[in-house]
Amino acid sequence: NEVLRLDRLEKGYNRGKANEIIVLRGASLVIPRGQVVALVAPSGAGKSTLLHIAGLLDTPDSGRVIVNGQDLTGAKDAARTVARREALGFVYQFHHLLPEFTALENIVLPQLANGTARKAAEARAQELLARVGLAARAGHRPSALSGGEQQRVAFCRALANRPALLLADEPTGNLDPTTSETVFSALMELVRATGLSALIATHNLELAARMDRVLRLSDGQLVEAK
């Protein structure tokens, strides 16, 4: 029972040109359901490239991408979009919340887009906000929240539609060390409470060590670091 399988991914840019760069050289991984995996690598090693492929935003030159049991390697855009919406949750370094909507609405809107009734969507949003200690901030717009609070709302939004897998690219990269710690703990609690699987890119080795497994991206391949 696995939520993500990446099989021998190859990916390069500017193929055949003088500035050709090969980023992935046979990168493979399997994430079983419920596992939280850290992805560590220096800047430029290809973490974003790998997350974009796993997140169905980009396609590999070769290799296979299987999300939640579905082989989406050669799938059409429509099928990839459905899989993204139903199976995947995304968190970025910057929160990307909609500024004109409240914290609650930011978590409700993706649920409405997915066909959830408003009442149920609001209840789900309130429950998620309570889990990250933000029940009292539901009616605030992002600009009225601190950086750490904004990022916690972004986690709630990513989990709103109950994805099988959370993909996160440096989710605490924009925060100071203390806030980063609080926000990371909130994310882990949320992930554990919902039994979610996750692939989380981070530079922070201390945070990485608190996940179930650490993978290092090295010379275009994924190797176990723990």
User: Rounded to the nearest whole angstrom, what is the least distance from the CB of residue 196 to ligand ADP in the complex?
Assistant: 22
Site residues (vs ligand ADP, CB under 6 A) = 13-14, 21, 23, 41, 43-49, 169
Q: Which is nearer to ligand ADP, 92 or 184 (CB)?
A: 92
Q: Is 61 helix (H, G, I), strand (E, B) or coil?
A: coil
Cβ at position 71, least distance to ligand ADP in Å: 23
Closest to 88 in 3D by CA, of 49, 57, 124:
57
The dihedrals phi and psi of 106, each to the nearest 5 degrees, come to: -60, -30
Query: How far is the C-alpha of 102 from the C-alpha of 12, rounded, in Å?
Result: 40
Structure tokens at 85: 């919406």
Determine the angle formed by the axes of helices 147-159 and 177-194, rounding to 10 degrees: 20
| Rounded Cα–Cα distance for residues 171 and 155 (Å) | 9
CB closer to ligand ADP out of 32 and 44 = 44
Burial class (CB in 10 A: 0-12, 13-18, 19+), 222: buried
Burial degree of 198 (CB within 10 A; 0-12, 13-18, 19+): buried
Nearer to ligand ADP, 52 or 162 (CB): 52
Nearer to ligand ADP, 94 or 101 (CB): 94
Q: Which is nearer to ligand ADP, 23 or 158 (CB)?
A: 23
Nearer to ligand ADP, 47 or 152 (CB): 47
Residues in the chain: 226
In whole angstroms, the minimum distance from the beta carbon of 217 to ligand ADP comes to 7
Q: How far is the CB of 170 from ligand ADP (least distance, A)?
A: 7
DSSP-assigned beta bridge partners for residue 120? none
Shortest Å distance, C-beta 122 to ligand ADP: 31
* Spatial CB neighbours of 76, under 8 Å, sequence gap ≥ 6: none
What is the nearest approach in angstroms of ligand ADP to the Cβ of residue 211? 18
